Structure 1
């Protein structure tokens, strides 16, 4: 499963928000409320990103429902083509992530952005975005590592038909003291069934 998009360069976070103003009864005039709202430039760019995304989603094999599972994470690889030098690549991700939420994925908290390249194209600034599922599941590198770990768990007194809290926490990415090094998971609470 993979999704490729070609999108406009998002508005920098520096120009993305403006102060919200409202009537202050104490001052008897309009004043900043302290809240931040999306700027006109930000709103326009968000609409453009969503429009282009909806058009490009057609015909691609992307499973939105897969993204709803809170245990599924995905990489967002980005190639950036800025119109000029001096732009900060980190400043584009807030608007990009928010714009794609509910179109490409359920929640941007499980999206892992990775900048692959920053290039400059004065005539055609753009970003190329590719989404793909991560291989790891929880603290485990892949499903084979889970199978190996769980096969040992099944011979432990704590397993209880898969209800072991250490195993279940590990499957959702919670680091437990009993596991030791996550790069070589080994449960120290293991007690062999008799």
Structure 2
């Protein structure tokens, strides 16, 4: 898998409080609240998306296509003020990364982590480091996943597209698998 690192620098994105706006529309005689992206969010995402696409090419980043493979999104925030909450700034950023279509398939793959909070009123920014997580589904690493699947290949369920194996690779906890041993294993007759 990709052992490379993608490093990005973002301006401080719009917070979740300034990401979406709401307006009322009349539909079928009823009034409904409809959300829309605010102009500052649209502008930020367009610019950051273009930057991500360029940097992915320059840094030779390989997109993580497997939607069950997770990616660490480590951020160091340099806020202009001390009253800002880092957790409010991920949504707009991550949506821009997903829209770039060069880093991951979906932001459900993302494990966002705040690695530092500093205050720099002259140059506010977010320094981002993206790396692929070692684990594969419920397995601690690719080797553990491969070893589990190698054993599965001798099971009668394997050729029928074993649901337990598939869900283990998706990261689903199942009572049939304990300590990486499947209780439904049955030696294939072949």
Q: TM-score, normalised by structure 1?
A: 0.82
Deviations 1:65-90 (A, max 9, x none): xx233232211111111111011111
Asked if residue 41 in structure 1 is aligned to residue 40 in structure 2, the reply is: yes
Which of 13, 19, 28 is the aligned partner of 1:10?
13
Alpha-carbon separation, structure 1, partners of 2:58 and 2:5: 12
**Structural mapping, 1:132-171, within 5 Å:** 132-160=131-159, 163-171=161-169
Q: How many residues align?
A: 184
> Secondary structure at the residue paired with 2:58?
coil
Deviations 1:110-144 (A, max 9, x none): 11111111111110000011111111111111121
TM-aligned CA distance change 1:166 to 1:120, over 3 Å: same
Alpha-carbon separation, structure 1, partners of 2:57 and 2:164: 41
**Structural mapping, 1:8-157, within 5 Å:** 8-22=11-25, 33-64=32-63, 67-103=64-100, 104-157=103-156
TM-aligned CA distance change 1:34 to 1:164, over 3 Å: same
For the aligned residue pairs, the C-alpha RMSD in angstroms reads 2.4
Moved over 6 A (4+): none
> Secondary structure at the residue paired with 1:49?
helix
Following superposition, the deviation at residue 101 of structure 1 comes to 1.3
Deviations 1:143-186 (A, max 9, x none): 211233234334444334x7332222212222222003xxx322
Cα contact 1:8–1:48 (8 A) shared by 2: no
* Range 51-60 or range 105-114, more displaced: 51-60
Higher Cα Rg: structure 1 or 2? 1
TM-aligned CA distance change 1:152 to 1:23, over 3 Å: closer
Structure 1 residue runs without a partner (length 5+): none
